[in-house]
Amino acid sequence: MCDHCSEDRFNLMSSSRRSAMLLAASLLGTAVAGRAFAKEHKAPPKPQNVLTPDASLKRLMEGNARYVEGVTRRHDFRHEREALAGGQNPFAAVLSCADSRIAPEYAFDTGRGDLFVCRVAGNFAGTETIASMEYAVAVLNAPLILVLGHDACGAVDATLKAIKDDKPPPGHIPSLVDAIAPAAKVAMQQGGEVLDKAIRQNVIDNVAKLKAAAPILNAAVEQGKLKIAGGIYRLSTGTVDLIAQG
């Protein structure tokens, strides 16, 4: 073999080795980048909770129908604990009254990690509650917020009494009265079943307040990523009646 042919063969082999090394390096880099990306965007612990706003509300109400009929599902809390140890992705957030007779997780037949629940007497959206709902939407990607009132609400009834008697209740309870008073006053002007009307108006007012909450919740609503609805829980039947959606 001539010297020139030998040199060409050497150059060809060197070039092949360089190509193979570059290819290996490229594949390794892709694999490393892929693992890093997967770590940043890991799969949600409950994939079934990744829903559109409308599908989320539908699932919530289907769960309530099972609860009312007494055919709730068996939830595997043991394996749910394991799946949720590293994160959460609830399919809905609920602002509920703190009344002991109201339990959103039961009322909608849900398991752990399904609902992000905030509870306060009178189910109104104060600063901390709005911040909590912003966290549920912006960080946990919850597509739905439900403001859940209930009939015979003691907080609303106490507000009506405080306004009528012009006498504030003791302790820190006046802070509840102040928050519920706008809805109570509207109901008092309308007359009739004032308590029922005040409970309903309070839900409607807080749905509107959350929908207007800038800059996070209002933007999510405008972009179609979030639905905010209202409902009334009926103590005697367990039924949730939707009264405000948007």
Which positions of the chain have pLDDT values less than 70?
A: 1-41, 246
Asked if 148 and 242 count as a contact pair (C-beta separation under 8 A), the reply is no
Q: Determine the pLDDT at residue 184.
A: 98
pLDDT at 64: 98
pLDDT tens digits, one per residue of 79-119: 778 889 999 999 999 999 999 999 999 999 999 999 999 99
Look at the pTM and tell me if it is higher than 0.85: no
- pLDDT at residue 80, rounded to an integer: 78
Q: Which sequence spans correspond to the domains of the chain?
A: 1-42, 47-244
Q: What is the pLDDT of residue 108?
A: 98
**CB burial string 74-100: b at 16+ within 10 A, e below:** eeeeeebeebbeeebbbbbbbbbbebe
What dotted CATH number matches 47-244? 3.40.1050.10
SS3 annotation, 162-217: HHHHCCCCCCCCHHHHHHHHHHHHHHHHHCCCHHHHHHHHHHHHHHHHHHHCCCCH
